[in-house]
Each structure stands twice: as C-alpha cells, then as structure tokens.
Amino acid sequence: MQIVIDGKNITADHGLTILEIAKKEGIHIPTLCFMEKLLPIGSCRMCVVEVEGYENPVTACNTPAVDGMVIRTNTEKIRNMRKDILRFLLINHPLDCPICDKGGECLLQDLVYEYNVDVQPYTIKAPLKEYKEYSTPAIKYHPNRCVMCSRCIRTCREVVGRNVLDIVGNGFDARVEPVNPDRCIACGECLSACPVGALTETVSPTKGRIWQIKRVPTVCAYCGVGCSLELNVLDNKIIKVTTDVNAGMNKGVLCAKGRFGYEFVNSPERLTKPLIRKGNELVETTWDEALSFVASKLTEIKNKYGSDSIAGLASARCTNEDNYLFQKFIRAVIGTNNVDHCARL
C-alpha cells in the first residue's frame, strides 16, 4: 500500500492507522487522548490531518490508511484547528501550573507551548467544579484541571478491567467520577494515564519537579512477577514510583503495592540492628551475638525434637538468590521440607 504523508512517499502495511504509519516514519502528529494500549476514540481531535479529496479533516488516531491517500499533517488550517481545540481546553482551566504536581511534564502545557496559544479569544462563565472523594484515598481528582480525554476511564475499563470510572454530567458540568467505587483496587492505572494534573497521588508529602528528580530504573520486589519500576528520587528519598511503557514485561502497568507502597523505604521504624528478647524486652544486639544465639538454639531444638520440628518462612521481598539460599539452608542444613514464603499466604 502506497500513501503520501507531508510529501513523503511511504509503503505501509494494510490495516494500520494514519497515526501509526506517521509515528513509524518519524512524522510528529500531536495527540492528547491517544494511548498506545487503548483503543483510539478520536475524542480530543488534536491529531486531525487533512486528506486530499476528503471534505473534512480526519482524526489520524482512528482512521485506517487507504491505498493512495495523500495526507498533510501540518498545514495552516490544521494548525489553526489544533490551536482552537487547545483554546477550548484552556477556556476554564485554573491558574494551577505553579502548584500542580504535573507542571513540567504536562501534555497540555507542552501542546500549548508547541502551538503558541498565547491569547484566549473566547470567554465562558462556568462555576468552579467541587472536589469530591475519589475511589481510593491514594489519589485526588481535580475536576477543574481535567481535559475530559477519558484516558483514565478507558484504562480502567480496557487495561485493568474494573470499570470503576465514568463521565458524569455533560457540557461544562461533566466530570470523571467513580461510579463503581467498590470495584476499585487502587492500582493507580488511571493516575498514570492522566496526561494533565487532574489526577494526583497523595501518598508522599514530598513533591518534586521532573527536572529535580532522578528516575532510577529497578525491579519491583513485592512479588514474583518482577515488574519494572522507575523510582522517582529527590534528595535520596523516593517520592513517587512510575514505570516506563517500553521497559519490562509489565509494559507500563503496575498494581497498588508497586505504585504506592514505597514509603517504608525511608521509614524510621525499619529495623537496622538485630534484636534479642531478654525477659519481656527486645534488646539491640550485634549480628555476631544474634547469629550465634539463633544457631545454638536451632541446633538444640533439632537435636532434641528432630528436624521436622523446625519450619522456615521466607520473605517474598527478598531476592531470588536469597530465597534460594534460604530453602537450601532449611533443606540441607536443618534437614526438613517445611519451607515456604509469605506470598502464598
């Protein structure tokens, strides 16, 4: 199949959309409501392109390319249409950039800057929308910042399959609301899908701008799936967990534990020294003392009651190597098969 995009002759496979072909060829078409893992709905209209012979511009994200199409992605007319779309989105947008968590990595900001939307010819009198409780306390919904792209709703439906969210109301009253809050598993997929600052996380009290934080790629230690994580680190403290769409087998998807369970890392309550119970109190001690105490007690119990009187319970939070060594220790040294780990519980 032969098509032409911006004067470039392209041979493409059948069944691909205009946007997919343009992306492969390195031709930039702006999008807002589009996400690779979701079905394209062409709702935001940012990706409009002109096709020769078509009366009206079409949305690139959900229009399949047809043999012989001649497409223009960046004409004056198209740029003006995109500008107008951005103006509509900004018409009632609060002046939140300086206090918004998303400032600096906000798709709306980027598009407004890219398209130089610097004047607002339209006005509207609409009352500010009220804050309401979201389906999980880990996330806050800012209705006035919302651009109604429905990425959160579609992610919940298509990726997670929980169907918690939907748009409630219409026109200027429209807002995203958890219509089935009981089904929410607090995975935060909606949070990661939001292109603007309409959904923000409330777990870490510390916030940092994108250019202040360091993103450290790592693997989640919560369970055996081993999702790829990016720890957002500010001043050597984890303040947020994100994940790269292109990394690992989780492809940008995380669960509640992986996304929100990071506060323990910097908790002052973590044990850093071994404790031994003396009388009714746990007393800090050295590793040497603790290990020899455990070794002598285990030997004593094994000699007195036999190997099967001992069981080992490992932590799923340890590395595979650690857990392998632990079961080896229980089986070979202690001599019992009574070994398990907490993820099975």
Partner 1 sequence: MSEQKKYMTLNMGPQHPATHGVLKVILELEGEVIHRAIPVIGHLHRGVEKLGESKTYIQNIVYTDRLDYTSAMINNLAYCLAVEKLMNIEVPERAKVIRVIMSELSRIAAHLIWLATHALDIGAMTLYFYCFREREKILDMWEMVSGQRLTPSYIRIGGLLADLPEGFMDKLKEFVDTFDAHVDEYDKLLSKNPIWLARTKDIGIISAEDAISWGLTGPALRGSGVKFDYRKAQPYCGYEEYEFDVPVGSKGDNYDRYLVRMEELRQSNRILKQAIKRLPEGPIKAHVPEIVFPDKDLVLKNIEALIHQFKIGCGGFTVPKGEVYASVENAKGELGFYIVSDGSSMPYRFRIKSSCFVNLSALPEIVKGSMIADVVAVIGSIDIVLGEIDR
- Specify burial of residue 199 (Cβ count, 10 A radius: 0-12, 13-18, 19+): buried
Dihedral of alpha carbons 170, 145, 142, 135, sign? positive
118, 130, 288, 321: which one contacts partner 1 (CB under 8 A)?
A: 118
For residue 175 the two structure tokens come to: 């807002």
- CB 116, min distance to partner 1, A: 5
Residue 73 C-beta-side C-alpha neighbours within 13 Å: 21
Alpha helices, DSSP H, located in 91-236? 107-114, 151-154, 189-193
Shortest distance, CB of residue 165 to partner 1, whole angstroms? 25
- Alpha carbon distance 2, 310 (integer Å): 71
| Contact with partner 1 (CB under 8 A) among 9, 119, 123, 271 | 119
Residues whose CB is less than 8 angstroms from the CB of residue 309 and which lie 6 or more positions away in sequence, other chains included: 301, 302
DSSP-assigned beta bridge partners for residue 8: 5
Residue 110 or 340: which CB sits closer to partner 1?
110
Identified binder of partner 1 from the candidate list 71, 112, 231, 238, rule CB under 8 A? 112
CB 194 within 8 A of CB 144: no
Of 154-213, binders to partner 1 (CB under 8 A) are 209, 211
Q: Is the four-CA dihedral 184, 187, 188, 192 of positive or negative sign?
A: negative
- What character string, x for contact with partner 1 (CB under 8 A) and - otherwise, covers 281-300? --------------------
What are the helix (H) ranges across 41-145?
76-90, 107-114
Instruction: Report d(CA 169, CA 210) in Å as an integer.
Output: 34
All residues at 6 or more sequence positions from 268 whose CB lies less than 8 Å from its CB, including other chains: none
| Shortest distance, position 87 Cβ to partner 1, whole Å | 8
Answer yes or no: are the C-beta atoms of 342 and 311 closer than 8 Å: no
* Coil, helix or strand at residue 178: strand
Residues between 59 and 98 that touch partner 1 (CB under 8 A): 90, 93-95, 97-98
* Closest approach of partner 1 to the CB of residue 248, in Å: 28
CB of 60 to partner 1, least distance (A): 24
With respect to partner 1, which residue has the nearer C-beta, 103 or 312? 103
Does 109 bind partner 1 (CB under 8 A)? Our answer is: yes
Indicate which single residue of 50, 78, 104, 301 sits in contact with partner 1 (rule: CB under 8 A): 104
What helix, strand, coil percent values describe the chain, rounded to 5? 30, 20, 50
For residues 77 and 318, what is the distance between their CA atoms, to the nearest angstrom?
58
**To the nearest whole angstrom, how small is the minimum distance from the Cβ of residue 104 to partner 1?**
6
- For partner 1, give the closer residue by CB, 94 or 312: 94
Instruction: Candidates 80, 116, 292, 337: give the one binding partner 1 (CB under 8 A).
Output: 116
**Residue selected from 117, 203, 247, 318 as contacting partner 1 according to rule CB under 8 A:** 117
Site string for partner 1, 207-246 (x = CB under 8 A): --x-x-----------------------------------
**Which CB atom, from 102 or from 259, has the smaller least distance to partner 1?**
102
Binding-site string for partner 1 from residue 27 to residue 66, where x marks contact by CB under 8 A and - marks none: ----------------------------------------
Looking at the Cβ atoms of 113 and 305, the one nearer to partner 1 is 113
Stretch that binds partner 1, among 3-11, 110-118, 219-227, 286-294 (CB under 8 A): 110-118
Q: Residue 65 class from Cβ within 10 Å (0-12 exposed, 13-18 middle, 19+ buried)?
A: buried
Residues near partner 1, by CB under 8 A: 90, 93-95, 97-98, 103-104, 108-110, 112-113, 116-120, 209, 211
